[in-house]
Homo-oligomer: A and B are copies of this chain.
Amino acid sequence: MENSRDQGRPGGRKSAGGKARRQSERLIMNAAERIFAVRGFSGATMEQIAAAAGVPKANIHYYFGTKKNLYQRLIRDICEEWLAAAQSFDDDVPLRALRGYIEAKMDQAWERPYGSRLWANEILAGAPFAAGYISAELHEWLLSRERIIGRWIVEGRIRPVEPRTLIYMIWASTQHYADFASQITLLNNGKALDKESFLAAKRSIADIVLNGLAPLSAKNSP
């Protein structure tokens, strides 16, 4: 009656499993995200991850098979979450869409900084695992938003700027607060940025960008 396909290494079923499995996987993935974010794929060791998760090394292999596999799961996870922020760029009022997007990206940098850093590390390494996702979903999203921004420019609703540069600026400026957190901390007398300073930065970034885009007419008078 027992089906041997279903025990032992994962993969027998799609990726289901009891709550014990799910719980262990979550524990390991959280630890792995931190370690990979700091050391990169090749720099991280399974032992460091095991120690951070508080489990024996062998358990990680039991649940994820290989280091590569574990890493890929995280990349996929981060891509999926990224889509959430991407959706917030969707109002038809330029300044509202852009402010919403900037705020969503900043919230993400605050709430899941290690995800952002893992991504940065992956890109620095040449995007060996994320390339497919970038060329497909991300590229598509980028093109669609460029079209929207282009339309706003034609309609005179924002100042003429290169849409792509604008989007890169938003990515860079928001992710900076996660990716360069250790530098920011050192420049803040060794104290990590508190929530208030972070919120101030969020507003400030949005203000600079949005003022930079305000059309020549319709100046914002008090």
Contact = CB atoms under 8 A, between A and B. Distances in A.
Interface in A155-201: 159, 161-162, 164-166, 168-169, 171-173, 175-177, 179-180, 182-184, 186-187, 190, 200-201
Contacts of A164: 187, 201
Interface string A137-160: 011001000000000000000010
A51 B135 CA distance: 30
Given A43-B39, A124-B120, A131-B186, A212 B201 contact: no
Interface stretch (A14-22, A55-63, A76-84, A203-211): A203-211
A186 B129 CA distance: 12
A4 interface: no
A11 B44 CA distance: 32
A27 interface: no
B201 A168 contact: yes
User: Which secondary structure characterizes the binding site on chain A?
Assistant: helix
Contact of A161 (B123, B135, B168, B207): B207
A179 B211 contact: no
Contact residues on A (Cβ < 8 Å of other chain), bracket: 35 or more
Nearest to A39: B42
A88 interface: no
Contacts of A182: 123-124, 126-127
Query: Which 9 residue pairs are nearest across A and B when measured between Cβ atoms?
Result: A212-B212, A42-B43, A172-B176, A43-B43, A208-B212, A165-B204, A172-B172, A211-B212, A134-B186
Given A117-B124, A173-B173, 16 more contacts: A40-B43, A40-B121, A42-B43, A42-B44, A120-B124, A121-B121, A123-B179, A123-B182, A161-B204, A165-B200, A165-B204, A166-B208, A172-B173, A172-B176, A211-B213, A219-B219
